[in-house]
Structure 1
């Protein structure tokens, strides 16, 4: 629950945030709005005890328009979770609460086949989202105080075989909602593009 800003201290309220990666998932430029993305959503709900279990999901539009869960796959605050999204498959691995994934084995693995036919392959995105209430796009859920999230080991592969192993030069767009205090995230691409970090803030 946020402790500053217009949405702070609503002890019976719902707060949420989504962290995800995607192909063609940001601008919606592909015909028929084709995209694939996957990520983790977190929730704080004061009416049912505070912090809730995160939801790990994938979405392949238009086939899985509402997003689909990875069955019994689980995650919790502090876990290192790795996603690989391609035109035919979404894979997620949870390494647990560790400081370095090199040489470690994933504690959980989930794989889901998806239909990427019609993808443009025009963009890759690493996103923090304040998502809207179901069926009410003008009313986003209040953004949770997630502290900070880091996207690491970034890699994008193209159909011609080219691989870009960083986010150097990527555009950064922070979440800004006047009703929640203005600027809600402070996101930066790390030196050399090796990581993207987003911190929860209120206002400028």
Structure 2
């Protein structure tokens, strides 16, 4: 069941911290509430893919070396509230919500784009629109411009919306998952794929194979 605007509002002011939804700052509720969603705003931190002399990402490096490679590929950009970040056609950038979000253990959420921006060619996520129960922090945008004109994106503009779904209470909230990588982040976070356990297993298998 998806929560409507009245149910979301009830959760925002629920006296029980285990049931309360947190969306802060909620600057203008009259502008941000929809029938079954709350609009979220663009923050001020961006990361864009930078051109480097790296020919490829060697996934079999140790995690620390991979982390350094990822940082070499990403250019960090801080935008003032009154200045635009220009997303050019075909470009990809990471950003985050202005708001800090906390999802209770009996709810899951979806982060989606707004139709207004979709009609201009802005996609706000590639695959990661699902928000687990127990998540807390700023939500990451995976921004793509699929139009043929540059898009000026201003911090504070509502480019997305979040909706909530009722679930049975989880025993494994996002922050307690064994390989959680993005819990509690308050700004734009680049990919930490190198922390996934599959790569260490592959490296170990390659090492054993080389000994034969």
Work out which of the two has the higher radius of gyration on C-alpha atoms and give 1 or 2. Answer: 2
The structure carrying a bigger helix percent of its residues is: 2
Q: TM-score, normalised by structure 2?
A: 0.24
Structure number with higher relative contact order (C-alpha < 8 Å, ≥ 6 residues apart)? 2
Q: TM-score, normalised by structure 1?
A: 0.24
